Amino acid sequence: MDYKWLCATALALAACQAFAQEQRPRQAGENAFNPSISLILQGTAARSSQDPENYRIDGFAPSGGEVAPAPRSFSLGESELIISANIDPYFRGQLTAALTPENEVEVEEAFFQTLGLGKGFTLKGGRFLSGIGYQNEIHQHAWDFQDAPLPYKAFLGGRLNDDGVQLRWLAPTDLFLEFGAELGRGRAFPSADSSRNGAGAWSLFAHAGGDLGASTAWRAGLSHLQAKPEDRAFEDSDSLGNAVTQSFSGTSKLWIADFVLKWAPNGNATITNFKLQGEYFRRDESGSLTYDDGTALNGAYASRQSGWYLQGVYQFMPRWRAGLRYDRLDHGTVDNAIVTGGLGPSAADFGPLMTAYNPSRSTVMLDWSPSEFSRLRLQLASDKSRADVTDYQVLLQYIFSLGAHGAHTF
Residue 11, pLDDT above cutoff 70: no
What whole-number distance in Å separates Cα of residue 14 and Cα of residue 391? 75
Residue 21, pLDDT above cutoff 50: no
Q: How far is CA 116 from CA 6, 105, 120, 121, 164, in A?
A: 43, 32, 9, 8, 20
- Give the pLDDT confidence of 293-322 residue by residue, as tens digits: 888 889 999 999 999 999 999 999 999 999
At residue 386, the pLDDT reads 94
- Give the pLDDT confidence of 85-133 residue by residue, as tens digits: 999 999 999 999 998 888 888 999 999 999 988 899 999 999 999 999 9
Domain boundaries, the chain: 107-372+380-385
What whole-number distance in Å separates Cα of residue 69 and Cα of residue 55? 8
- Give the pLDDT confidence of 323-382 residue by residue, as tens digits: 999 999 999 999 999 888 888 888 888 888 888 999 999 999 999 999 989 999 999 999
CB neighbours (10 Å) of residue 94?
19
Closest CA to 254 of 291, 280, 273: 280
Over residues 176-196, the mean pLDDT reads 90
At residue 30, the pLDDT reads 36
The yes/no answer on whether domain 107-372+380-385 falls in CATH 2.40.160.10 is yes
Q: How far is CA 292 from CA 50, 115, 236, 337, in A?
A: 29, 50, 10, 15
Least confident of 27-31, 32-36, 147-151, 236-240: 27-31
Task: Give the global pTM.
Answer: 0.89
Over residues 222-245, the mean pLDDT reads 90
At residue 1, the pLDDT reads 42
At residue 33, the pLDDT reads 55
- Give the pLDDT confidence of 61-96 residue by residue, as tens digits: 898 888 999 999 999 988 999 999 999 999 999 999
Least confident of 14-18, 178-182, 245-249: 14-18
- Give the pLDDT confidence of 27-74 residue by residue, as tens digits: 344 345 578 899 999 999 999 999 999 999 999 989 888 899 999 999
Q: How many CA atoms lie within 13 A of 50 on its CB side?
A: 18
Closest CA to 296 of 336, 244, 334: 244
State what percent of residues in the chain have pLDDT above 90. Answer: 70
pLDDT band at 12 (very low <50, low <70, confident <90, very high): very low
pLDDT band at 407 (very low <50, low <70, confident <90, very high): low
At residue 240, the pLDDT reads 82
β-pairing verdict for 121-129 and 91-99: unpaired
- Give the pLDDT confidence of 388-402 residue by residue, as tens digits: 899 999 999 999 999
At residue 177, the pLDDT reads 96
**Cβ(228)–Cβ(218) below 8 Å:** no
CA dihedral for 267, 269, 271, 273, sign (positive or negative): positive
What whole-number distance in Å separates Cα of residue 259 and Cα of residue 236? 36
- Give the pLDDT confidence of 215-230 residue by residue, as tens digits: 999 999 999 999 999 9
At residue 237, the pLDDT reads 84
What whole-number distance in Å separates Cα of residue 281 and Cα of residue 104? 32
What whole-number distance in Å separates Cα of residue 315 and Cα of residue 405? 22
At residue 352, the pLDDT reads 87
Strands (E), 196-340: 201-212, 216-227, 232-237, 243-263, 273-292, 296-317, 320-336
Residue 16, pLDDT above cutoff 80: no
